[in-house]
């Protein structure tokens, strides 16, 4: 077993997939995968990697991917440990695949990824707090402080209250059903 992932350019990955020699494993979360992914890729979220059973032919080249390559780079040891032989990574991730002009399956009906929803909601609340604090009453600055404290808590504990609230939104409940 190795603890490194060998980088493959999008064209090399496409050739290995087309020939049947390669299997693409997308490590993004399910909501990200549902919105866009390479056709035929297997969804195995990094958050559940150790519990997942990768039923892949041992002779196949296992190629991991994410959106940009950052998650695979950060978890290369964990990913490589899940493969009996050499492990590979799509250099640049899904973004590089698209930039190379290769097709991506998209589901525009799927909600935005939860992480992006949190970023948008937090950004809007901070902006609203600053604008209301400036033009209405200084007490509104507390809204920005509250959101900042919540994001700090989320970063320290791995628990995001805003994400939990957003999961209850009607558009996210429909996607989960």
As a whole number of angstroms, the distance between CA 23 and CA 125 comes to: 42
User: Can you give the C-alpha Rg of the chain in angstroms?
Assistant: 20
DSSP letters for 94-111: HHHHHHTT---EE-TTSP
Q: Is residue 77 a contact partner of residue 3, using CB atoms and an 8 Å limit? A: yes
Task: Find how far residue 113's CA is from the centre of its chain.
Answer: 8
- Which one from 13, 17, 27, 66 is the annotated catalytic residue? 66
Helix axes 114-135, 141-157, angle to 10 degrees: 150
Strand partners, 26: 43, 65
66 catalytically annotated:
yes
Torsion 171-32-160-121 (CA) sign: negative
- Among the listed residues 128, 5, 144, 141, the one whose alpha carbon sits nearest the alpha carbon of residue 78: 5
Q: Which residues are catalytic?
A: 66
């Amino acid at each position: 077993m190795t603890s490194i992932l060998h980088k493959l350019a999008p064209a090399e990955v496409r050739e290995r997939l087309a020939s049947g020699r390669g299997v693409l494993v997308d490590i993004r979360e399910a909501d990200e995968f549902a919105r866009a992914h390479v056709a035929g890729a297997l969804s195995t979220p990094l958050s559940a990697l150790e519990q997942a059973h990768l039923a892949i032919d041992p002779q196949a080249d296992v190629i991991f991917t994410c959106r940009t390559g950052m998650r695979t780079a950060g978890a290369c040891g964990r990913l490589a440990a899940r493969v009996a032989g050499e492990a590979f990574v799509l250099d640049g991730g899904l973004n590089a695949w698209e930039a190379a002009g290769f097709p991506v399956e998209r589901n525009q009906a799927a909600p935005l990824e939860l992480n992006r929803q949190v970023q948008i909601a937090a950004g809007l609340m901070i902006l609203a707090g600053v604008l209301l604090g400036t033009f209405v009453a200084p007490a509104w600055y507390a809204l920005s402080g509250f959101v900042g404290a919540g994001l700090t808590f989320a970063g320290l504990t791995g628990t995001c209250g805003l994400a939990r609230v957003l999961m209850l939104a009607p558009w996210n409940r429909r996607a989960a059903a």
